[in-house]
């Protein structure tokens, strides 16, 4: 097995050095997995942090890339599935996605299937670009989902209140410096353009 990987890696390296880096990254993410983080499996392969980041980035781009009522409606189900996946990964039990039949597991399974097709080139998207983009996007994704059942004390009716969040962290600058200067007369902040056209 190791000799075959080295042969494949050597053949790819001669053609394109960037592909060897991608191949090494993907192999390392599947082979070098600690048992502490391997709680959820898909087709006997563990789902690790890099996979979760890629899934998060892909689902974010899928739901926020197009402005349509269906995409906006799907955001809450994507948030629910991603929170469920994180909860399953932290659980002490071991889960196999293909054996689970709940809504969240089916969504994650379909997403992984789509990603596998994308990475094998069936959709015409550059796999290297896709991995970098969605993993980078996934690092910035903020996902929250909670359900609370509220019982009306007078009527006894139950109402489910759902709170969810599926957004990106903003890139904050490292320093708090602003461009421009303060006008000595009015003490207002002005930009460089105001400096040129000041009367």
| Residues 83-106: tens digit of each pLDDT | 999 999 999 999 999 999 999 999
CA 95 to chain centre: 20
Angle, CA of 10, 14 and 19, to the nearest 5° = 80
Which distant-in-sequence residues (6+ apart) come within 8 Å of 37 by Cβ? 46, 48, 49, 89
Q: pLDDT band for position 68 (50/70/90)?
A: confident
- In the DSSP assignment, the letter for residue 191 is -
Integer-rounded Cα radius of gyration of the chain: 24
Average pLDDT over residues 170-175: 60
* Distance between CA atoms of residues 71 and 163, nearest Å: 18
Average pLDDT over residues 56-72: 89
Of 176 and 168, more confident: 168
């Amino acid at each position: 097995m190791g000799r075959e990987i080295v042969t494949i890696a050597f053949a790819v390296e001669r053609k394109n050095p960037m592909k060897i880096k991608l191949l090494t990254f993907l192999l390392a993410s599947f082979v070098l997995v600690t048992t502490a983080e391997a709680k959820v499996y898909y087709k006997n392969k563990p789902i690790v942090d890099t996979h979760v980041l890629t899934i998060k980035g892909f689902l974010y781009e899928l739901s926020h890339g197009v402005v349509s009522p269906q995409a906006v409606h799907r955001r809450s189900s994507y948030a629910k599935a991603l929170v469920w996946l994180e909860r399953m990964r932290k659980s002490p039990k071991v889960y196999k996605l293909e054996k689970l039949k709940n809504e969240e597991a089916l969504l994650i399974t379909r997403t992984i299937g789509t990603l596998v097709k994308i990475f094998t080139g069936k959709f015409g998207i550059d796999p290297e670009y896709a991995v970098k983009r969605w993993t980078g996007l996934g690092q910035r994704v903020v996902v929250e989902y909670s359900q609370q059942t509220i019982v009306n004390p007078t009527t006894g009716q139950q109402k489910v209140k759902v709170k969810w969040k599926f957004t990106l962290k903003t890139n904050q600058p490292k320093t708090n410096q602003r461009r421009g200067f303060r006008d000595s007369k009015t003490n207002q902040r002005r930009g460089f353009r105001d400096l040129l056209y000041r009367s």
